[in-house]
Amino acid sequence: MDTTLDDPIVGRVLDGRYRIDARIAAGGMATVYRAVDTRLDRVLALKVMHPALAADAAFVDRFIREAKSVARLAHTNVVAVFDQGTDGPYTYLAMEYVSGCTLRDVLRERGALQPRAALDIFEPVLAALGAAHRAGFVHRDMKPENVLIGDDGRVKVADFGLVRSVDAATNTTGSVLGTVSYLAPEQIENGVTDTRVDVYACGVVLYEMLTGAKPHTGGSPAQVLYQHLNEDVPPPSAAVPGLSGSLDALVARATARAPERRPADAAALLGLVREARAGLGDAELDAVPPQARAGDRAASEDRTSVIPRPVEAPQQPVHHTSRLELPHAHAAHAAPAPARGPRGRRGPLLVIAGVLLALGLGMGVWYINSGQVTKVPNLLGKTEEQARSQLSAAGLGVKGVDRKFSDAFDRGTVMNTDPPGGKRIRGNGAVTLTVSRGPEVISVPDLKGRPLEEARAELTKTGLAPGIVTQAFSQDVAQGSVIDTNPAGGQKRAPDTAVALIVSKGRPVAVPAVAGKPLDQARAALEAVGLTAATAPEQVNSASPAGTVASQSLAAGAQAAGGDTVTLTVSKGPRQVLVPDVTGQDVDPARKTLEGLGFKVKVDRPFLSFSNTVDAQSVPGGQGAPEGGTITLRTKGL
């Protein structure tokens, strides 16, 4: 049903500029409209936050973060963000309008795609995410709904509303934000996000394109989460026989449950995809899959959800409501698994004991008494003292304590356990704790006077990242060498922090005035002060004589660096203008006519002449004269 007419914002003009014409789509946080920028007369998409959320500073911050993040990604496969603003209760993003459909629409219509078509879509998606990853951002909500396919065949990644800086990716004990079917195990278990969660989601999307179905399904989102944590994504060829093993390998690499086994980012995965594609023949690329459509599976799995994660997991089953309640990552295991309380465990143990007694081994009682297991509590984020106390209460000990640097966990808190939380071990067992030492810090090296490339190499060597480069004049630092850094040398920073470099342009050179000079003389004057002269490809008409310099790209007196190029535009001489015949006219209107054509006018009145009529002109009417030249008008004499 078309709800456009019921939408009060349709037909309005936001910020006196954006006229909203129709609703395109609605989501949990915002609605997207087709709009017209009345100032630039172009169609665009306007993403408007739901007014009820506009009062929430966190949601507004996410909106603004999306605008700033995507605006930095000038990539052909990323939906561009043009503007961001607020008009009354409406907070909006003005974005590029892509006429077409989403990958979800394609999968619903066609089901599984041929490998060639799947890779044709997959590669630009990875190119877009690779650009984001290399710029320091994680998308965190990759899914077919966020892949747009234009009518012209262009593929673009949209909805960076959950985007986050790689440097800011942390363990989130409060909630996980994302879409259930595409969440990486580490997102579910401890909320840690980096570029590899996007790689995992892309692997799931590739599986879905090749098979027409999601790899993990269930009666509830909790069951899907359980499968992400405990089951590998199956090879696509198990669902579509005949698919190449190299495609299975791609999906397996991208969806490895251990993040360290995945490609580091989307750019690395793109390299593997291109390598695999190069090894596939036409028959393998054009294999026709069975057309079993994916259809509208549980809508809750396709919606971006907030998954709260309180500290302790209650014993009641997990239920899915409009807001997915997941008391603990491991609580999801309870949904599909059989009960493990005393009642659920007694039956199989009695059967085993009976079999042993029937065999006369006399071991049944020993098995029951010694076979008790204890579930390792989730200790992530706990202080070492709290962790020891919880282990002791559970009847478990501490085998040892490792200490490692971490940007995700506060100093002194548990960042890992072996065995991990939720794992069942025999009573009286021991657990190894890994405790965070806090962020590892690096001293920024003193790079003053070092050549730019040498400075970049030194930053990389020390574990920092070369940042943006700006240039400035310097009287004492050689051109091309570092004047200063930001942060300054000696300051402490976390690994991979970007360090901006200020590089010397050398001593400033005053640009000489060469306009109006012959070209050879102008070149010589520039080269004499250490500048380089270049000539514009086209000459122009000007008041300067033909062959002389009409203009220079750097103004006379401006400061330039040695070796900078000054482009010289050569004059073709003044433009020739047809002179009208003004004889017989009064002097004043004749003057206005000629000056309007760009001429200078001089009036010559004979001695004792009282006439105001033009008797003669220095350039006869109908002839050409240089624009800006002087024409003399003579009045009648006695």
Q: What is the pLDDT of residues 225-259, one digit of tens each?
A: 889 899 999 999 999 999 999 999 999 999 999 99
| 574 touches 619 (CB < 8 A) | no
Give φ, ψ of 300 to 5 degrees.
-65, -25
CB atoms within 10 A of CB 409: 25
Per-residue tokens: 320 = 């899915």
Is the per-residue pLDDT at 567 higher than 60? yes
Q: Which of 263-267, 285-289, 398-402, 501-505 has the lowest mean pLDDT?
A: 285-289
DSSP state of 5: G
Residue appearing with tokens 């936050």: 49
Confidence of residue 291 (pLDDT cuts 50, 70, 90): low
CA distance 166 to 171: 12
Mean residue pLDDT across the chain: 81
Residues facing 176 on adjacent strands: 307
Q: Which of 6-10, 454-458, 488-492, 534-538 has the lowest mean pLDDT?
A: 6-10
Q: What is the pLDDT of residues 445-499, one digit of tens each?
A: 999 999 999 999 999 888 888 999 999 999 899 999 999 999 999 998 887 788 9
Is the per-residue pLDDT at 264 higher than 80? yes
pTM exceeds 0.95: no
CA distance 95 to 344: 55
CA distance 612 to 584: 10
CB atoms within 10 A of CB 622: 9
CB atoms within 10 A of CB 455: 22
Catalytic residue from among 2, 87, 105, 141: 141
CA distance 203 to 210: 11
Burial (CB < 10 A; 0-12, 13-18, 19+), residue 528, is exposed
Percent residues over pLDDT 90 in the chain: 50
CA distance 374 to 381: 21
Distance (Å) of CA 257 to CA 183, 232, 330, 336, 404: 11, 7, 15, 19, 22
| 614 touches 634 (CB < 8 A) | yes
Q: Residue 331 has what pLDDT? A: 31
Q: What is the pLDDT of residues 590-604, one digit of tens each?
A: 999 999 998 999 999
More confident residue, 562 or 370: 562
Confidence of residue 375 (pLDDT cuts 50, 70, 90): confident
Is the per-residue pLDDT at 167 higher than 60? no
Q: Residue 159 has what pLDDT? A: 80
Q: Omega before 51 cis (within 30°)?
A: no
Per-residue tokens: 480 = 């091309």
Q: Residue 265 has what pLDDT? A: 94
Domains and CATH numbers, the chain: 1-97 (3.30.200.20), 102-310+325-337 (1.10.510.10), 343-436 (3.30.10.20), 442-504 (3.30.10.20), 508-570 (3.30.10.20), 576-635 (3.30.10.20)
**520 a catalytic residue:** no
| 554 touches 581 (CB < 8 A) | no
Confidence of residue 372 (pLDDT cuts 50, 70, 90): low
